[in-house]
Structure 1
Amino acid sequence: MSLALTLSGAVTPDDVRAEEPPKLRVVVRPPIRKSRPKPAPHAAAPPRSVQAAPVAEGEVAIYRRVGEDGTVFLTNRPDGDARYRFFGRFSAGRLMRLVGPDGVARLAERYAGRHGVDPRLVMAIIKVESGFDAKAVSPAGASGLMQLMPGTQRHLGVRDAFDPDENVEGGVRYFRSMLDRYGGDVRLALAAYNAGPANVDKYGGIPPFEETRNYVRKVLALYATPR
């Protein structure tokens, strides 16, 4: 299999090959703010030939490396890691949008296969939970692609809920546990994923919460839609 990122035409389909669909990790770190030294009095302006090209507002330099297992890492701060090579200049938001569902789909397929869940169902959950936004945070504090609550993160051993790989693996593993708890009933497992198993047990089915009922309906509708 190959992974082709078409950002600025810098990557071709032959750039990355792995035995299984490669993962893609986008590591966006806060930029380091450095104070610029004041120019010396009467210092001459640098020659035109060495002046940096104008950079669009909000753009950052992105660096790329490929792991041994085919994982493609993109970051705006290599932090001295010599394995990274300059990839191009992008806004972090644009880069995340371009990675979008394609990168998430590979993660969904990987972990759905590992935990015995239909990858189309995993993608439907992610779409409803976060709209494929790896940095999403809900008002209740749920984080990442599959919107893991802090307590659930600790229970699952997820260290960084904003890491798409960790988040999807943990979310799929948790959903699998809900399927097992409710005898494979997808509707009840979805309700438990949204409202918690305690509420499903309390009401003996999908809780009478509008949010939960709409959630189950939306995920099942997406799941039933042919690709």
Structure 2
Amino acid sequence: MGFPVRAGLVLGCCLLCVSGVGAAESSKLKVVVRPPIKKTLPQRPHAARPEARPVQSAEPLPAESVAIYRHVGKDGTVFLTNRPDGDGRYRLFGRFSTGRLMRAVGPDGVARLAERYAGRHGVEPRLIMAIIKVESGFGAKAVSSAGASGLMQLMPGTQRHLGVRDAFNPDENVEGGVRYFRSMLDRYGGNVSLALAAYNAGPANVDKYGGIPPFEETRSYVRKVLALYATP
């Protein structure tokens, strides 16, 4: 099941906060995600990253902060959500800046997304992770000079074609990117090199040149991804 608009934020909080669970609680973790009431506002510059800890006072907070609530089930499962929707079992766990939560997704959180969607679309997770590493260096807010955005660097036209509403949402971006790469694999009969070249330079160029286009950027891109993919 896909996460909605703010899913990457909640996932990031899980990675950030689970280490604070007491020893008496199980390490099992379940994220309860509900559709956000409002879309995330643009991140403002911060002089320093705030530490992830419960907030004890009701001090004014910046508009882009997100409240995270928690409750612990009878079996020790930890539930986290950004919207308890009146469920009295949840208590405020803390408030975190959206930028902090996005950064907290990190490679570990991205790996979970890669595994989920690679499995769904029949692609090797390690290959998707290699693509993400070369495309954005695991930067969920990365933007290229050509306008490609997010972890898998989706171009605006590709985003519209895939129905990706928020390219900076890790969940939406990875799902769309994996789906698009799967379509390139299908187009070129499972040839990974050609699919990678098409992902980088577009299928029109691969078709035009009958193989990997003679662009140094594209050839370098294919080499880098394949090298990472081949590394255990």
> TM-score higher than 0.5 here?
yes
Q: Which residue of 1 aligns with 2:219?
A: 213
Quote the residue 1:10 is aligned against: 20
Deviations 1:64-121 (A, max 9, x none): 469xxx99555xxx6x955675333555444333321111111111111111100000
The alpha carbon displacement at 1:17 in A equals 4.0
Contact 1:8/1:88 (8 A) holds in 2: no
Partner of 1:63: 68
Partner SS state of residue 15, structure 2: coil
Structure with higher RCO (Cα < 8 A, 6+ apart): 2
Q: Which residue of 2 aligns with 1:38?
A: none
Number of residues of Structure 1 aligned to a counterpart in Structure 2: 194
Q: Does structure 1 residue 30 correspond to structure 2 residue 41? A: yes
Q: Does residue 1:167 correspond to 2:178, yes or no?
A: no
Measure, in 2, the Cα distance between the counterparts of 1:129 and 1:103. 17
Give the letter aligned to residue 144 of structure 1.
G
AA in 2 matched with 1:10? G
Q: TM-score, normalised by structure 2?
A: 0.68
Distance 2:16 2:192 in 1: 37
**1:108-187 → structure 2 map (5 Å cutoff):** 108-187=114-193
Question: Partners in 1 of 2:70 and 2:139 — Cα distance?
Answer: 22
Q: TM-score, normalised by structure 1?
A: 0.70
Question: Larger radius of gyration, structure 1 or 2?
Answer: 1
1:101 aligns with 2:86: no
Give the direction of change, closer, same or farther, for the CA distance of 1:92–1:157 in structure 2 (3 Å limit): closer
Percent same amino acid at aligned positions? 73
Q: 1:63 to 1:117 in 2, by over 3 A?
A: same
Q: Is the 8 A contact 2:69 2:94 kept in 1?
A: no
- For the residue of structure 2 that corresponds to 1:86, the secondary structure is strand
What SS does the corresponding residue of 1:98 show, helix, strand or coil? Answer: helix
The answer (yes or no) to whether the contact 1:105–1:123 under 8 Å persists in 2 is yes
In the TM superposition, residue 152 of structure 1 has moved relative to its aligned partner by: 0.8
Cα RMSD over matched residues?
A: 3.8
CA distance in 1: counterparts of 2:20 and 2:39, whole angstroms: 20
Q: Quote how far apart the aligned CAs of 1:6 are.
A: 4.6
Whole-Å separation in 1 of the counterparts to 2:29 and 2:93: 14
In 2, distance between residues paired with 1:63 and 1:151?
Answer: 34
Which SS does the other structure have where 2:29 is aligned? coil
Q: Is the 8 A contact 1:10 1:87 kept in 2?
A: no
Q: Structure 2 stretches of 5 or more lacking a match? A: 1-10, 45-55, 72-77
- Contact 1:63–1:86 (CA<8 Å) still a contact in 2? yes
**Kindly tell me: are residues 179 and 135 of structure 1, through their superposed partners in 2, closer, same or farther at Cα, counting changes over 3 Å?**
same
CA 1:85–1:32 in 2, change beyond 3 Å: closer, same or farther?
A: farther
Amino acid at match of 1:30: L
Counterpart-to-counterpart distance in 2, 1:173 and 1:220: 19
Do the aligned partners of residues 141 and 118 (structure 1) sit closer, same or farther apart at CA in structure 2, a change above 3 Å counting?
A: same
C-alpha separation between the residues in 1 aligned to 2:43 and 2:136? Answer: 28
Greater Cα shift, 143-152 or 190-199: 143-152
SS of residue matched to 2:161: helix
